[in-house]
C-alpha cells in the first residue's frame, strides 16, 4: 500500500466503520432472521394470500400514482418552463416546498381536504349533496401519494423542459407539424430520460411510503402498514423482516433498473 | 388531447388546478391553526392560543428535532466530508462498491432500515432508549446526501490542479485539506449541511419505529397530535413545523442560486 492510498483509507475509515456497524451488519441480520422460522418465511409474501393482497395493492397504487404524477408533473413542468410571469419563481418554490414535508403532514392535509370536517365535505353539503368524505379510503391514499410525488416531478420536468432545444420544435412547426405531433415527436423523446429517472424515484417512494398511509389509518392496506402491524401488534419479527426484504428489493431494483436505463440522470435517488 | 387546438388552454388550466391542489391544503392548515374554532372558520376570530398550547405540550419535540438535526449535520461533516474526499480521489474498486452501498439506505424504505437497527441493537437498553438511537438512524439515512454533494465538488478538475500546486509548495495533507480543499468546496458543504438538516427535521418513517415515549421528534409528535387531538392543534403544530423548516429551505434555495451564478 502506497502512502496516498493509506491516506485515503484513513479518510474513509470512520464512515466505513459507522456504515458497517449501523447499516450493513443490521441488514445482514435482517436478511438472516426469517431463516429461523424456516425458509418458507422468505416467500410468505407470495404464499400467504393476505400479504400477497397487500403487496398487489401497493404495487397497483404505486404504479397508478407514478403514471398520474408523470403526466401531471410533465404537463405542469412544460407549462412553467415555457411561460413567463412575475410570480413564477414564487409559484415554483411553493410547489416544491412539500418535498421536505414528512408523510404524516400530507396525510393530515388529505384529512383537511377530505375528512369528516374537510373542505370537500363542506362544499358538497353546501351544494346539497350531503357530506362527502374520501380521506380514509383508496381515493385519500391516492391523492396523498400524488401530493408527495408531484413536487419532485414538477421540479424535475421544469428543469428538463427549460433546457429543451427550441430549434427542433420550431423546425417541426415550420414544417407544418400539429401541436400533438410536436408533443409526440419532440417533447416526449427529449423528456424520456427524465421520465424514466423521475418515474423510478416516484414509484420507489410510493412503495415505501409509510407516514401518509399511517396518518390516514387506511381501510386500503398497503405493504408498509402490513409490515408495521406485523412488527408492533403481533411481534412477528421474522415475518416483518421478510416483508421488509421484499419491499427493499422492489424499491432498490426499480431505482437500479432506471439508473441503468437512463444513465447518470437517475442517480439522484 | 384529441383536439390539438385546446392544448394552449389545457396546459395553464391543468397547472392552475395542480397548484390549487398543492397549495390549498397548506393555506387551509395555516388558517386552521390560527382561528378560534375551525368549524366556524374566520368568523370565530384569530388566535395564537393553539400555537401556545402546542408549544406547551410538544415544545420539547421541537427542540429535540432541532438538536438531532444539528447533530446529524455535525456527524455528517465529520464522517462524510473526509469520506467524500477519499471516494473522489480513489480509483479502487472497493471505493466504487462502498459508494454504491452507502446510497442503499436512501433506496430502501426507512421502515426496513429501522427494523434492522432494532433487531440488531434493540437489546442494548440504554442505547435503544436514548436519542442517540434515532441519531444513528438519521446519520445512516443522511450520510449519502452529504457524501454525494461534497464528493461532486471534490471531483472538479480545477481543484485537482489546486491541490497539486499546494503539494508542490510543500503543504502537508492537513494543511492542504483544511487550507485549500475545504474552503474550495465550502458552498457544497453548506448545501449538503442544509440538506441534511432538512431531511433530519422531516424524517418520519425511520424515526417512528426508532422512537420511544421519551424520545419524540417533531414529526413523531405531529403523528401523535393528528391521531388524538382536535384539528386546530394539529394545524397549529403543522404551522410550527413550517416555521422551523422554511428558513432552512429558503437558505438552501438562496445558496443554490448563488452557486449557480458563481459557476456561470
Predicted pLDDT of residue B104:
92
- Closest by Cα among B194, B182, B180 to B252: B194
- Give, in degrees to the nearest 5, the angle at Cα B25 between B23 and B31: 105
Give backbone dihedrals phi and psi of B103, rounded to 5 degrees, phi first.
-85, -5
Judged by CB atoms closer than 8 Å, whether chains meet at B102 and A15 is answered as yes
B179 CA: distance to closest CA in chain A (Å) = 16
Predicted pLDDT of residue B1:
38
C-alpha cell at B63: 427542540
Nearest beta carbon to residue B18 from set A72, A100, A247: A72
Q: Domains in chain B, ordered, with CATH?
A: 43-263 (1.10.3720.10)
- In chain A, residues with a C-beta closer than 8 Å to the C-beta of B21 are 143, 147, 150
Chain B contact present for A163, CB below 8 A: no
C-alpha cell at A69: 404524477
Q: Give the C-alpha separation, B123 to B142, whole Å.
A: 25
| pLDDT under 70: residue ranges of chain A | 1-3, 262-269
C-alpha cell at B53: 398550547
Predicted pLDDT of residue B150:
95
Q: Are A66 and A203 in contact (CB under 8 A)?
A: yes
Nearest beta carbon to residue B109 from set A24, A107, A248: A248
Q: How many CB atoms lie within 10 A of CB A1?
A: 6
C-alpha cell at B208: 417512528
Predicted pLDDT of residue B3:
40
Q: Are A67 and A148 in contact (CB under 8 A)?
A: no
Predicted pLDDT of residue A267:
44
A58: Cβ contacts below 8 Å, ≥ 6 apart: A207, A222, A223, A224
pLDDT, one tens digit for every residue, chain B (264 residues): 334 444 578 889 999 999 999 999 999 999 888 888 887 777 788 888 888 888 888 888 999 999 999 999 999 999 999 999 999 999 889 999 999 999 999 989 999 999 999 999 988 989 998 999 999 999 999 999 999 999 999 998 888 888 888 888 888 888 888 888 998 899 899 999 999 999 999 999 999 999 988 899 999 999 988 887 788 889 999 999 999 998 888 888 888 788 777 765
Q: What is the DSSP string of chain A?
A: --HHHHHHHHHHHHHHHHHIIIIIHHHHHHHHHHHHT-GGGGGHHHHSHHHHHHHHHHHHHHHHHHHHHHHHHHHHHHHHHH---TTHHHHHHHHHGGGGS-HHHHHHHHHHHHSTT-HHHHHHHHTTS-----TTSHHHHHHHHHHHHHHHHHHHHHHHHHTS-HHHHHHHHHTT--HHHHIIIIIHHHTHHHHHHHHHHHHHHHHH--HHHHHTT-SS--HHHHHHHHHHTS--HHHHHHHHHHHHHHHHHHHHHHHHHHGGGGG--
Q: How many CB atoms lie within 10 A of CB B52?
A: 12
* Gap between the terminal Cα atoms of chain B: 39
Q: Is B254 exposed, middle or buried (0-12, 13-18, 19+ CB in 10 A)?
A: exposed
- In chain A, residues with a C-beta closer than 8 Å to the C-beta of B22 are 94-95, 98, 147, 150-151
Q: Give the C-alpha separation, B38 to B29, whole Å.
A: 10
B168 CA: distance to closest CA in chain A (Å) = 15
Q: Give the C-alpha separation, B91 to B13, whole Å.
A: 51
Q: Are B203 and B241 in contact (CB under 8 A)?
A: no
Best mutation target among B16, B44, B58, B112 (most A Cβ atoms within 10 Å) is B112
Predicted pLDDT of residue A258:
87
Judged by CB atoms closer than 8 Å, whether chains meet at B107 and A251 is answered as yes
Predicted pLDDT of residue B6:
45
Q: Are A18 and A223 in contact (CB under 8 A)?
A: no
Predicted pLDDT of residue A176:
78
The conformation of residue B155, written as its DSSP 8-state character, comes to: T
Q: Which of residues 8-67 of A touch B (CB under 8 A)?
A: 8-9, 11-12, 14-16, 18-19, 22-27, 29-30, 33
- Closest by Cα among B116, B207, B96, B253 to A243: B116
Axis crossing angle, helix B231-262 with helix B186-202, rounded to the nearest 10 = 170
Chain A contact present for B92, CB below 8 A: yes
Predicted pLDDT of residue B7:
54
Amino acid at each position: 500500500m502506497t502512502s496516498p492510498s493509506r491516506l485515503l483509507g484513513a479518510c474513509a475509515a470512520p464512515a466505513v466503520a459507522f456504515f458497517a456497524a449501523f447499516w450493513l451488519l443490521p441488514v445482514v441480520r435482517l436478511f438472516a432472521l426469517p431463516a429461523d422460522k424456516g425458509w418458507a418465511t422468505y416467500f410468505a409474501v407470495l404464499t400467504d394470500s393476505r400479504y400477497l393482497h397487500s403487496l398487489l395493492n401497493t404495487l397497483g397504487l404505486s404504479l397508478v400514482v407514478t403514471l398520474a404524477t408523470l403526466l401531471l408533473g410533465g404537463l405542469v413542468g412544460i407549462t412553467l418552463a415555457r411561460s413567463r410571469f412575475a410570480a413564477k419563481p414564487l409559484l415554483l418554490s411553493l410547489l416544491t416546498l412539500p418535498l421536505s414535508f414528512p408523510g404524516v403532514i400530507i396525510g393530515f392535509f388529505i384529512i383537511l381536504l377530505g375528512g369528516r370536517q374537510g373542505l370537500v365535505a363542506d362544499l358538497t353539503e353546501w351544494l346539497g349533496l350531503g357530506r362527502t368524505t374520501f380521506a380514509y379510503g383508496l381515493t385519500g391514499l391516492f391523492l396523498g401519494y400524488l401530493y408527495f410525488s408531484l413536487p419532485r416531478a414538477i421540479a424535475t420536468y421544469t428543469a428538463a423542459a427549460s433546457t429543451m432545444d427550441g430549434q427542433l420544435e420550431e423546425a417541426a412547426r415550420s414544417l407544418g407539424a400539429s401541436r400533438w405531433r410536436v408533443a409526440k415527436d419532440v417533447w416526449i423523446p427529449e423528456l424520456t430520460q427524465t421520465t424514466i429517472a423521475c418515474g423510478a424515484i416516484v414509484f420507489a417512494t410510493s412503495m415505501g411510503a409509510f407516514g401518509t398511509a399511517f396518518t390516514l389509518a387506511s381501510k386500503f392496506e398497503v405493504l408498509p402498514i402490513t409490515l408495521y402491524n406485523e412488527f408492533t401488534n403481533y411481534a412477528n419479527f421474522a415475518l416483518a423482516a421478510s416483508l421488509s426484504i421484499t419491499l427493499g428489493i422492489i424499491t432498490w431494483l426499480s431505482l437500479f433498473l432506471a439508473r441503468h436505463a437512463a444513465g447518470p440522470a437517475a442517480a439522484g435517488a | 388531447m384529441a383536439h390539438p387546438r385546446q392544448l394552449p388552454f389545457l396546459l395553464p388550466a391543468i397547472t392552475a388546478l395542480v397548484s390549487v391542489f398543492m397549495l390549498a391544503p397548506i393555506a387551509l392548515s395555516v388558517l386552521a391553526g390560527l382561528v378560534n374554532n375551525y368549524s366556524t372558520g374566520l368568523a370565530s376570530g384569530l388566535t395564537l392560543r393553539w400555537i401556545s398550547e402546542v408549544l406547551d405540550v410538544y415544545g420539547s419535540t421541537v427542540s429535540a428535532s432541532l438538536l438531532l438535526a444539528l447533530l446529524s449535520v455535525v456527524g455528517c461533516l465529520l464522517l462524510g466530508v473526509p469520506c467524500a474526499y477519499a471516494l473522489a480521489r480513489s480509483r479502487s474498486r472497493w471505493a466504487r462498491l462502498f459508494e454504491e452501498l452507502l446510497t442503499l439506505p436512501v433506496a430502501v424504505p426507512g421502515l426496513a432500515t429501522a427494523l434492522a437497527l432494532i433487531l440488531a441493537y434493540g437489546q442494548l437498553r440504554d442505547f435503544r432508549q436514548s436519542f442517540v438511537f434515532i441519531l444513528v438512524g438519521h446519520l445512516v439515512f443522511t450520510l449519502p446526501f452529504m457524501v454525494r454533494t461534497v464528493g461532486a465538488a471534490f471531483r472538479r478538475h480545477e481543484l485537482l490542479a489546486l491541490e497539486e500546486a499546494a503539494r508542490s509548495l510543500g503543504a502537508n495533507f492537513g494543511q492542504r485539506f483544511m487550507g485549500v480543499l475545504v474552503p474550495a468546496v465550502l458552498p457544497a458543504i453548506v448545501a449538503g449541511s442544509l440538506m441534511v438538516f432538512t431531511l433530519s427535521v422531516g424524517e418520519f418513517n425511520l424515526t417512528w419505529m426508532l422512537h420511544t415515549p421519551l424520545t419524540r421528534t417533531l414529526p413523531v409528535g405531529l403523528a401523535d397530535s393528528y391521531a388524538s387531538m382536535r384539528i386546530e392543534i394539529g394545524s397549529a403544530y403543522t404551522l410550527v413545523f413550517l416555521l422551523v423548516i422554511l428558513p432552512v429551505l429558503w437558505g438552501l434555495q438562496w445558496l443554490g442560486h448563488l452557486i449557480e451564478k458563481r459557476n456561470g
